[in-house]
A = this chain, B = another copy of it.
Amino acid sequence: MVDYVAPVSDMAFVLREVLDFPGVQKRHPELTEEFVEAILGEAGKFATDIFGPLNRVGDAEGVRLQDDEVVLPSGFAEAYSRFVDNGWQGLAQPVEYGGQGLPFVLHMAVSEMWNSACTSLALCPLLTSGAIEALTSHASDELKDRYLPKLVTGQWSATMNLTEPHAGSDLSSLRTRADPEGDHYRIRGQKVFITWGEHPMAENIVHIVLAPMVDAPPGVKGLSLFLVPKYLVNADGEIGVRNDLKAIGVEKKLGIHGSPTCAMSFGEADGAIGYLIGEPGQGLACMFTLMNHARLEVGLQAVALSERAFQDALAYARERVQGVDAATGAPAKIIAHADVQRMLMLMMSLTQAMRAMAYEGAVSYDARHRADTSEQRELHEQRFGLLTPIVKAWSTELVNEITSLAIQVHGGMGFIEETGVAQHYRDARITAIYEGTNGIQANDLVSRKLIRDQGAGINSLLEDIATTIDEMAEDKALSGFGSALAPAAQALKSITSLILDRADEDPHFVGRVAFNFLMMMGYICGAWYMARSAQAAIGQLGAGKGDVGFYQRKLTAARFYMTQVLPRYQGYETAIRSGEDVGARLDVESFG
């Protein structure tokens, strides 16, 4: 394992050359190219020097519960404290609450760095960001004024409390209850899988809790959202008495050992005091503000762990001597072997595609509030909704493959924990599960983002892809990319129609095809980003600008993706087409 070094050039390339950077600048005029470089450079140093060294420590030491307190791995609290002092939490947060108001996509780039350097620790500010978003969007001014300033600095952290022991993804049967009492509520119940639910790094922890009021109707429509602080906060903003809640357990997990996953108990004595966020019965809608934010960032964690695993594999492949070069017969570093090159390029090109998609999701996230016209805002809202489940699920499926490839490049050494690369494989595995399993993401994509708008969002995306294809057709150096992308886009269009035509036939149809559709769409969207990456690279090379080797490598990665990765969509397409008649018609009796 080598020290993580933030891929600043790659990130800046996506931000400034692949995405619509002029559009971002129009909404954030302070964002000069030099400013982007300065921020990424500083964040990269912080990630390498402060978070990076804690990754193995966190894994090896893990966390434990002692007298209702979480004991963290060595160095975590100090590193978090420096993170707060350096102002990283507030980078993209509202200026009126002390944030720097920079665009979310810039936050994504630095958040990728925190997650590459130490995913376990990075999860704490990740949850805080989501809670800030939920409070900004839905809380009363009084709650905002009292809680946001210290969340924005990171002095206080936040959590997201949905899951209960009997109900994982099923929020319609929550048993935690909220009793009204004056201007607040008394919360009673247990929540599980609460990331950073208890810890000593922050002065206060703001729990965002989903629960029905006592007299609420059953089901998700009865759910409300509450702010339940670890310590009550006085009117002057200072910390008051301890609230009636505590951690009652921390899980022993496959990965992210440095991140305390807590079972929380609310209100064992008098009931924990909580404050309503948004309207009664609107809890799920408010929580989705937090969840959509978090889903994009979980997809980003997949990018981050893929990048980290790639860096380790590349360093090892450059150093390890094994066998001989097939061409020269001389002893070779394993990077000279074609199969090792295949594995490394698979990791590299997928990571690039995933990164561009996640960052573009963040651009839409910003623009849906800040774009000039309501039409543009709506288009960005639609695009953000469409990309979110793909960023989340496609990327988190692939991170398992990519971190596995990193092990494979290491051979037997990869299986030894001390090497460090197995940790990425273990840490990555949760990302396909939390913030809504990938099955739920696939269902969200097909039910809410395809069927609900009758394909409008996908058609709009397909129009943008068609524009890219048209542009590439005019340039000899790019026409190969266009002719690889065109049949894939056509297939996506055709499968979209097929799903719209057949969705009503059978209540299980969506569930049968959703995952395959999500993966198919992920690979095709990934190809679009790689095509745009190639366009940008050809543009720079044609203009004789920048690092020639850098842009040529971007072209190589894009070509590899088009010829070696994109074809995977075919298997998913065929499965969707042929599935309805035979194999996909399963039932509970199919398994004996």
Q: Which residues of A contact B (CB under 8 A)?
A: 163, 166-170, 172, 192-193, 251-255, 314, 318, 320-323, 326-327, 333, 335-345, 348, 400, 404, 407-408, 411-418, 422, 425-426, 429-430, 432-434, 437-439, 442-443, 480, 484, 507-512, 514-516, 549-550, 553, 556-557, 559-565, 567-575, 578-579, 581-584, 586-592
Contact = CB atoms under 8 A, between A and B. Distances in A.
Contacts of A559: 582-583
Contacts of A573: 567
A571 B568 CA distance: 4
Contact of A339 (B333, B443, B507, B590): B443
12 contacts: A168-B322, A254-B425, A254-B426, A255-B415, A314-B591, A339-B514, A480-B582, A556-B586, A560-B584, A563-B575, A563-B578, A567-B573
A512 B515 CA distance: 30
A337 B512 CA distance: 9
A256 to B, nearest CB: 9
Contacts of A400: 400, 404
Contacts of A586: 338, 341-342, 345, 556, 560
B511 A170 contact: no
A340 B561 CA distance: 30
A407 B333 CA distance: 36
Nearest to A9: B592
Contacts of A343: 439
Going nearest first, the 4 A-B pairs with the smallest beta carbon separation are A338-B511, A567-B574, A563-B583, A560-B583
Contacts of A425: 254, 429
A443 to B, nearest CB: 7
Contacts of A572: 567
Contacts of A583: 345, 556, 559-564
Given A322-B168, A560-B586, A563-B578, A411 B426 contact: no
A438 B408 CA distance: 9
B408 A437 contact: yes
- Looking at A432, A568, A571, the one whose CB has the most chain B CB atoms below 10 A away is A571
B429 A407 contact: yes
Given A254-B417, A561-B583, 5 more contacts: A339-B443, A339-B512, A341-B512, A343-B439, A484-B578
Contact of A579 (B484, B563, B574, B581): B563
B167 A322 contact: yes
Nearest to A560: B583
Nearest to A439: B339
Contacts of A418: 252
A588 B333 contact: yes
A423 to B, nearest CB: 9
Contacts of A254: 407, 415-417, 422, 425-426
A253 B416 contact: yes
A463 B590 CA distance: 32
A415 B578 contact: no
Contacts of A340: 439
A343 B397 CA distance: 13
Contact of A336 (B167, B251, B569, B588): B588
A59 to B, nearest CB: 12
A515 B569 contact: no
Contact of A567 (B342, B578, B584): B578
Given A344-B591, A564-B579, A322 B169 contact: yes
Contacts of A411: 168-169, 433, 437
Contacts of A590: 341, 345, 553, 556-557
Contacts of A574: 563, 567, 570
A7 to B, nearest CB: 9
Nearest to A414: B433
Given A562-B583, A584-B564, A590-B553, A404 B422 contact: no
A374 to B, nearest CB: 35
A206 B103 CA distance: 65
A112 to B, nearest CB: 18
A311 B584 CA distance: 20
A253 to B, nearest CB: 5
Contacts of A314: 591
A508 B575 contact: no
Contacts of A557: 590
Contacts of A169: 322-323, 411
Given A404-B400, A550-B592, A571-B569, A415 B433 contact: yes
A553 B251 contact: no
A197 B560 CA distance: 42
A553 B592 contact: yes
Nearest to A322: B170
Contact of A507 (B327, B422, B584): B327
B564 A575 contact: yes
Nearest to A570: B570
Contacts of A508: 326-327, 338
A392 B207 CA distance: 49
B512 A338 contact: yes
A170 B255 CA distance: 32
A166 to B, nearest CB: 8
- Looking at A415, A422, A439, A565, the one whose CB has the most chain B CB atoms below 10 A away is A415
A124 to B, nearest CB: 18
A438 B343 CA distance: 12
Contacts of A326: 507-508, 510-511
Contacts of A335: 588, 591
